[in-house]
Structure 1
Amino acid sequence: MTDRSDADERPTDETPSIAPDTLADRLRSDDSMTVLDVRDRDEFERWHLAGDGVEAVQIPHMKFIQAQATGDVTDLAADLEEPIVAVCGHGEASAHAVGLLREAGVDAANLAGGMDAWADLYVARELDVDAPATVVQYDRPSSGCLAYAIYSGGEAAVIDPLRAFADRYVAAADERDAEIRYAIDTHVHADHVSGVRALTERTGAEPVVPEGATDRGLTFDATTIGDGDELRVGDATLTAVATPGHTTESLSFRLDDVLFTGDTLFLEGVGRPDLERGDDGAGAAAGRLYESLRHRLSAFPDETTIAPGHYSEAADPGADGTYTARLETLSDRLAALSMTEDEFVAHATNDLPARPSNHERIVAVNLGLEDVDGETAFELELGPNNCAVAD
């Protein structure tokens, strides 16, 4: 888990705090704030809160302890813009810092539960779409990972589930009196540990992965499907659409006018092509991604709702609060969708961000090549997903 060093003073009921879901709402609203991170520098650099209105500042907790002893807390906070939200591993060291700041007259609040609680936050929102099913988007604000549950006729399918939240999908299905029939991955994920096998173990759901996952070394039993194959969920039908590029096996899934694009197309960019075969294979993968975007996805109606597998701080939610958009909106918004192939390949392979932390090991876990316990899985996937090429 993240840093769990104890503070000299434990948080009390009087310590002003902000709940993770409230903080998520403020970040979605682009509220201006300083996020004061009192963890060590390496933890901060690996993963910290960010957003359009956020000024992220790292001051280790030890400096607050020293400032408390010398009476220099006011000086320590002199350059911090208010309001301030303080964070640490699980909310104790930051609560101590908040107490000192407020004694000095600074407008500060503590993130309740710290970064562990932030990583545990999972928000469900229903898509406002015309389909023979209810579609729920699951949003993990700490990483931007999105999953989907499709409910129809007493059955359910979960697309791109996260292992950390397998129990959440089960509880939600129980509340709707629905049986989870399928647990589906759009591709072999490199940024989070898949929940496909966890859902299968808990519910008996049929695990479904793209047929190309076998070529990548899949070791566990699963139903493999390819372009044009269908999955019946109650009165609804999910149709697989081959969209290689981000990975060789990538699939999207169509549900009437909704298209679940996995890591192929996002609201603010397209999937990066270098995670499967590294820099040497990125150019060829980018060419395949271009074909998927320009000749597969562009053939769908303009009013198709694109439901991606991730979002970044640059993405804005739609009117229904979900991270979705109409295809015509993205076609107008994203320059990548109107580039020539040469322009696109250059765009998709140059100046890429750092690859997701532990991506090679996460892929091994998702193929069944390595087994990890829940705590290790949680640690592996902390931080931003970094699966997109920003437009």
Structure 2
Amino acid sequence: MSLPDLPDLDVEVPAISAESLKARLDAGEELVLLDTRPPEKHEEWRIDAPTATHVNRSYTEYLDAELTDELVAGLPEDEEFVVLCAVAHTSEFVAGKLRQAGYDAVVLEDGMEGWAGLYEYAELDTDFDGTVGQYHRPSSGCLAYLVVSGDEAAVVDPLRAFTDRYVADAREYGASIEYVVDTHVHADHVSGLRELAAATGAKTVLSAAAAARGVAYDADVLVEDGDELTVGDAALEAMATPGHTSGMTSVRVGDVLLTGDGLFTDSVARPDLEEGEAGARDAARTLYETLQERIRPLPDDTRIAPAHTSGGAAAHEDGTYTASLGELTARMDALRYDREAFVDYVLSDMPPRPANYEEIIETNLGRTDVDDDEAFTLELGPNNCAAGTAD
């Protein structure tokens, strides 16, 4: 990425890390975030937090010598605020200019790319005799899972950008990664399935239906509905849950159901990313059957653990983005609609498709190759894999 030449300001600009910013927002602190990216980039993807107040003003407006009232509108005069951009280049210039004028501006370290590198981890409080840990990428809402039983582990829905993290965390548990599982062919992030398997010697696992989409590499294990993987003393059961994609397969671990992109804690899946709009209605009907005939009959205390969340989703008391099936059934109208009402709801409430989703799908199918930097750039932005938010 080519960075613009900017005037050299003789001023020191303090920086705040993505981790520190996230902690302050999670604690309920109200912060103004001044985004110096173009408006279309700001609208497409920004830091989503209830206590964040967004001000979007392109850095080009600050190139003139004079700092007008219009350029400081919405900024606190006596409180710290955060200036951000894509990589902390233009935002550092703007923050410096504001500091020269007496404002308490700090810059987000590494900008939105730094935010995209933030990856959190928490263990689920479940009845499973072992550990189910959830990874959360706040920038996109992507969730992945580490399942540990004894000295063996499996990783479900890994992100390529965090391959080293999974290896290190499994080592902390004294476990070797035996399986790497993708619940489906992802459209919003570059999968770490093959990279993590190569780094650990683990077996790659896909559903046979996902492989039938034209996967251009040989998965070590192809599972069908009801098949099990043994990890330590635990059994991971494959459960076919098509709708979001034809190959969508959930993974049942004790009282936890890893639902991939089929059912979220604040919405249901969108059905148009495999066959496009032409196949969306049929896929939505399939999703309805999956939810009503496969998932809803499970015990109410089944913990639903999806592959995505949104900024509007509430965390469970254990800090994970999960919820019981009974809770979701009680508060999500979409789970109580009849079939055609459900289909109409899903098709009428779909956000824009994920950024670069076609290229990401091709990469995850193994039909195209990208290096690590290209992969990281491809998936920047929101995931947009849900049909909407809970009613």
TM-score exceeds 0.5: yes
Measured in 2, the distance between the counterparts of 1:107 and 1:343 equals: 51
Q: Is the 8 A contact 1:10 1:92 kept in 2?
A: no
Displacement of 1:78: 2.1
- CA RMSD in angstroms comes to 1.9
Which residue, 272, 278, 281 being the options, matches 2:279? 281
SS in 2 for 1:270: coil
Which residue, 194, 212, 216 being the options, matches 2:213? 216
1:186 aligns to 2:165 (yes or no):
no
Displacement of 1:386: 0.1
1:99 aligns to 2:92 (yes or no):
no
1:19-30 matched pairs, under 5 angstroms: 19-29=17-27
Measured in 2, the distance between the counterparts of 1:146 and 1:266 equals: 11
Cα deviation 1:51-90 (Å, max 9, x = unaligned): 3333333212222231xx22x2554112335653210122
SS in 2 for 1:189: coil
1:260 aligns to 2:258 (yes or no):
yes
Greater mean alpha carbon deviation, residues 378-387 or residues 98-107: 98-107
1:160 aligns to 2:123 (yes or no):
no
Measured in 2, the distance between the counterparts of 1:220 and 1:201 equals: 13
Aligned to 2:13: 15
Q: Is the 8 A contact 2:272 2:280 kept in 1?
A: yes
1:177 aligns to 2:140 (yes or no):
no
Cα deviation 1:212-236 (Å, max 9, x = unaligned): 1222101111111011000111111
* Cα gap change, 1:9 to 1:232, in 2 (>3 Å): farther
Q: Normalized against structure 2, the TM-score is what?
A: 0.93
Displacement of 1:312: 0.6
Cα deviation 1:285-342 (Å, max 9, x = unaligned): 1111111111111111111111110001110111111101111111111110111111
Cα deviation 1:196-222 (Å, max 9, x = unaligned): 000111111100011112221011111
Q: Is the 8 A contact 1:89 1:115 kept in 2?
A: yes
1:333-344 matched pairs, under 5 angstroms: 333-344=331-342
1:78 aligns to 2:77 (yes or no):
no
Q: Is the 8 A contact 2:316 2:323 kept in 1?
A: yes
Aligned residues with identical type, % of pairs:
48
Aligned to 1:238: 236
* Cα gap change, 1:61 to 1:267, in 2 (>3 Å): same
Displacement of 1:128: 1.4
Cα deviation 1:146-190 (Å, max 9, x = unaligned): 000011111110000001111111111122221100000001100
Q: Is the 8 A contact 2:34 2:56 kept in 1?
A: yes
Measured in 1, the distance between the counterparts of 2:314 and 2:26 equals: 8
1:122 aligns to 2:104 (yes or no):
no
Displacement of 1:360: 1.1
One-letter code aligned to 1:227: D
One-letter code aligned to 1:20: A
* Count of paired positions: 386
Aligned to 2:322: 324
Measured in 2, the distance between the counterparts of 1:327 and 1:267 equals: 9
Q: Is the 8 A contact 2:25 2:31 kept in 1?
A: no
Q: Is the 8 A contact 1:73 1:101 kept in 2?
A: no
Cα deviation 1:105-146 (Å, max 9, x = unaligned): 434322112111111111111111121111111111110000
Measured in 2, the distance between the counterparts of 1:337 and 1:28 equals: 30
SS in 2 for 1:261: strand
Q: Normalized against structure 1, the TM-score is what?
A: 0.93
Aligned to 2:143: 146
Q: Is the 8 A contact 1:11 1:96 kept in 2?
A: no
Q: Is the 8 A contact 2:354 2:385 kept in 1?
A: yes
Q: Is the 8 A contact 1:193 1:366 kept in 2?
A: yes
Measured in 1, the distance between the counterparts of 2:289 and 2:329 equals: 15
SS in 2 for 1:267: coil
One-letter code aligned to 1:239: E
Structure 1 unaligned segments of length 5 or more: list them: none
Measured in 1, the distance between the counterparts of 2:259 and 2:126 equals: 16
Q: Is the 8 A contact 1:6 1:93 kept in 2?
A: no
SS in 1 for 2:294: helix
* Cα gap change, 1:317 to 1:159, in 2 (>3 Å): same
One-letter code aligned to 2:171: D
Measured in 1, the distance between the counterparts of 2:61 and 2:246 equals: 49
1:62-73 matched pairs, under 5 angstroms: 62-66=60-64, 69-70=65-66, 72-73=67-68
1:198 aligns to 2:186 (yes or no):
no
Measured in 1, the distance between the counterparts of 2:233 and 2:274 equals: 36
SS in 2 for 1:96: helix
Q: Is the 8 A contact 2:55 2:74 kept in 1?
A: no
